[in-house]
Chains A and B, each alone.
Chain A
Amino acid sequence: MHQLTIAEIIKGLREKQFSSVEITRHLLERIQQQDARYNSFITVTAEQALAQATAADERLAAGKAPALCGVPIAHKDIFCTRGVRTSCGSRMLDNFVPPYDAAVVEGFERAGAVSLGKTNMDEFAMGSSNESSFYGPVKNPWDTSRVPGGSSGGSAAAVAALLCPGATATDTGGSIRQPAALTNTTGVKPTYGRVSRWGMVAFASSLDQGGPIARTAEDAALMLSVMADVDPRDSTNLQRPAEDFTRDLGQSISGLKIGVPKEYFGEGLDSATGERVQEALREYEKLGAQLVEISLPHTHLAVPAYYVIAPAEASANLSRFDGVRYGYRCENPADLRDLYMRSRGEGFGEEVQRRILVGTYALSAGYYDAYYNKAQQVRRLIKQDFVQAFGQVDVIMGPTAPSPAFALGAKQADPVSMYLEDIYTIAINLAGVPAMSLPCGTVDGLPVGLQIIGNYLDEARMLNVAHQYQRATDWHKASAV
């Protein structure tokens, strides 16, 4: 049962092949038996999951089942869940139980889904290896000595290890796509503003976007359909009504123009990884698509601009964690300054502190123009690159990550090499366009991800482009376990 996709579970539940309680209990048992190896969950909500599954079975029996009724999924521990600890992978929020649900969590509840628990992540979503979590690193199910990518490493590993068919995730600079690439899963970062950020703990507000990780493009489309909705509580939400993102699945992609940016195949890309991506592009040609070489000339500026803007926003977003109202508070503070210094010094991990310092520096008097303003100018140029490219092509393709999963600890001492993990994903967040990663083969037994970038609000087409590839190939069916 754990091998079923979401689409198959929906069918099985409606055809009464099994009940929601059965599959939920089965997955809870799997998590209990196997997750010690991966550490992909921070919190498992077994009791709540079974109650939700029971309710779902009743609705299924009554014939009043909403879209994902009875389907078990998991939420990244960045999404607030009413009454269930939401840690964001940090000691700072180890004791934090929100009195409200994130909009994304509400969406799955409305759709009747069952939540198995909360998945592990890099602390405050800062990281590309899931090693910065207060709850310990997540291990890649394909090779437990390697990282699963990050920051949504727990969600990706749980899906790859067949502990759940899909999980929610967030992507600020690649945090959905890079772990999807490293774990042979399919992950989608929607257009900025598609999915409400209400109740999603903020890292960098202008870049953060929620999305799904699943095993197929179809499942990702099913999940995205319940995640993207109007939400007046989020001022940056595009306020576009919910859509059926499966609507274009099955359309021919004959004549599709695929832009292949030369900047994504240069220095820094592992050659075997590059070959898998090239093979995928040839597969698309077989499906009738046309490859067009394009240029995204400001690509090389994306990482530096991102590492000014994201930490700058984070430095302010994380100021609320001060030990005063909720979250971690140091013991016996001597005075206010001591309360602040020790609560934040003890509550935040090293990478989070590094980014707060970088961001604070970038916003400081005398540096603001040279860093923050300059980075915003670069951001506009990068956006312009994509606007121009989509004047010529329908989608853009390239690698998701420069190489397959690396060993745990390999890049921890060198933050810059870690930051370069997101070299192909970061520009997409700066521009705000949608993108996804899907499996396209392996290198030495480790998965490689193909990245598809869509035009603004063109997720339905992007998902069909991925779906057509998955109909023609079996890479996504390869399992780690």
Chain B
Amino acid sequence: MEWEIVIGLEVHVQLSTQSKLFSGASTRFGAPPNTQACAIDLAMPGTLPVPNEQAFRYAVMFGLAMNAEISKRSVFERKNYFYPDLPKGYQTTQLAEPIVGAGEIEIHLEDGSSKSVRLHHAHLEEDAGKSLHEDFQGMSGIDLNRAGTPLIEIVSEPDMRSAAEAVAYLRKIHSIVTYLGISDGDMSQGSMRCDANVSVRLKGEEKLGTRTELKNINSFRFVERAIKVEAQRQIDLIEDGGQVVQETRLYDADKNETRSMRSKEVANDYRYFPCPDLLPVELDDDYIEAIRRELPELPDAKSARLAGEYGLSVYDADQLTQERASADFFEAATRQCGQPKLVANWMMGELAALLNRKEIGIEQSPVSATQLAGLIERIVDNTISSKIAKQVFEAIANGEGDADTVIEQRGLKQVSDTGAIEQMVDEVIANSTAQVENYRNADEAKRPKMMGYFVGQIMKASKGQANPQVINKILKDKLDALL
């Protein structure tokens, strides 16, 4: 039997407004507990919400970037449930009339293909606080700093057919919100959170299978693993004659398994109704158009432009533009050294490996765009070889200064002086009588390959600094003279 996985994602993105959605309290991350919760966030009696205009601006920016309809009128509703970190006993959110309607985006997959994913809608809502269950001797602590922080919840149609597609979609959302500057998109701090609705069906079947909802998967990697393991669980269950139960499940990253979270989920009745403390928000065309005019260049446009302007492959351009910081890095370095292809190769090679190793983003890169460009300039003008350049790159990453400083201090300048190289060639030939003998007796065709040994010895003698082209020429002349 061939199975098809069907995935829809609900992505919560924390908007990087200065203050909360309905109060003036700060949204800064990492403050001591309950120092950023004002009377409104604490739901003190008689306090009232006032909408944050910046949150609407951000939501409209997002909608426009998703090619979505922007609602001229949106309405906040109350979603009622009791929980200690939900101070009002309801969450203020949007349901029937969300700010962003249906839309569509293109996602790019690793095999170079693209696919369109439909957006069902996106709405504005406030975040809850945090319940802390450790360190309180069996009691729970509540931190309301996060309570009231603005979120947009982005709900896709069930258009994704593999974990890889889900990740590509999530990366695209991440890329759009960070390009727009409406969120830092930091999944580790909860600025972007993802719930996945997963179901399976036999290929060719039109009816959707029963879905489960995977809650709060907090990294790209876990999204992929959680979906895979949950889809497999469902397939195994059905193949063993069982049935999937509609429920919320939690992904346990340590055990790489999902498990049921709440069995009474179905019984929840949130009793939504329009919030009488807030009026419907009405936006006019001028407001929306003004925001449209101020939109920054978005990933797809930037990728196309880089491919065209700098002659990059579509794949390279896509990779480099996935994050705005990466695209900015590329453009800054290229502007300086004029070598787009080399910059791209270094960014996707050495730099990517370095960042991966250190588990940091390009924003924290220990090698700046200026430093990378400086390094490339020294390769292009033959001051150093590509091989030495890797050594210089590591030194820059270790904080030894820029390329020129490292080359100078470590004495890594490439030797192109034919006299010096000639001397090294002579020495190596003199010390390699057996290899020289072999070379002389070898077939004409095999000789070029055999030169590698001599080149290696000479590079070693020069500590890698000898210009390989110069070595090659002198060496060949000298060896051929011995024939």
Contact = CB atoms under 8 A, between A and B. Distances in A.
B319 to A, nearest CB: 46
A416 interface: no
A319 B51 contact: no
Contacts of B352: none
A360 interface: yes
A100 B45 CA distance: 10
Interface of A: 79-80, 86, 88, 93, 96, 98-100, 102, 197-202, 204-206, 232-236, 312-313, 315-316, 318-322, 324-326, 336, 340, 360, 363-365, 368, 372
A99 B84 CA distance: 22
A241 B45 CA distance: 25
Contacts of A198: 46-48
Contacts of B279: 235-236
User: Binding site of B, secondary structure by majority: helix, strand, loop or mixed?
Assistant: loop
Contacts of B273: 312, 316, 363, 368, 372
A360 B50 CA distance: 25
Nearest to B82: A340
30 contacts: A86-B46, A96-B45, A99-B44, A100-B39, A100-B44, A100-B46, A100-B47, A197-B46, A198-B46, A202-B277, A204-B276, A206-B276, A232-B50, A233-B48, A235-B48, A235-B49, A235-B51, A235-B277, A235-B278, A236-B279, A315-B271, A316-B80, A316-B271, A321-B45, A322-B82, A324-B87, A325-B43, A336-B84, A363-B271, A364-B269
B172 interface: no
A98 B278 CA distance: 23
Interface of B: 39, 42-51, 78, 80, 82, 84, 87-90, 142, 269, 271-273, 276-279
Given A236-B279, A324-B142, A372-B273, A316 B44 contact: no
Nearest to B23: A233
A465 B278 CA distance: 34
A392 to B, nearest CB: 30
Contacts of A200: 46
A322 B48 contact: no
B84 A205 contact: no
Contacts of A236: 276-279
A262 to B, nearest CB: 32
A88 B84 contact: no
A322 B49 contact: no
A213 to B, nearest CB: 20
A364 B272 CA distance: 9
Contact of A98 (B44, B50, B82, B271): B44
Nearest to B269: A365
B90 A201 contact: no
A315 B78 CA distance: 11
A64 B75 CA distance: 46
Given A316-B90, A336-B84, A205 B276 contact: yes
A316 B269 contact: no
Contact of B46 (A199, A312, A319, A365): A199
Given A98-B46, A197-B48, A205 B88 contact: no
B11 to A, nearest CB: 26
A319 B89 contact: yes
Interface core residue of B46, B50, B277 (most chain A CB under 10 Å): B46
Contacts of B277: 202, 205, 235-236
Interface core residue of B39, B45, B80, B142 (most chain A CB under 10 Å): B45
Contacts of B43: 320, 325
Given A235-B51, A319-B88, 14 more contacts: A86-B46, A98-B44, A98-B46, A198-B46, A198-B47, A199-B47, A200-B46, A201-B45, A236-B276, A316-B88, A320-B88, A322-B89, A363-B272, A365-B271
Contact of B45 (A98, A235, A336): A98
Contact of A313 (B48, B51, B276): B276
A316 B42 CA distance: 15
B428 to A, nearest CB: 80
A235 B50 contact: yes
Chain A to chain B: the 4 pairs with minimum beta-carbon distance, closest first: A319-B89, A205-B276, A363-B271, A206-B276
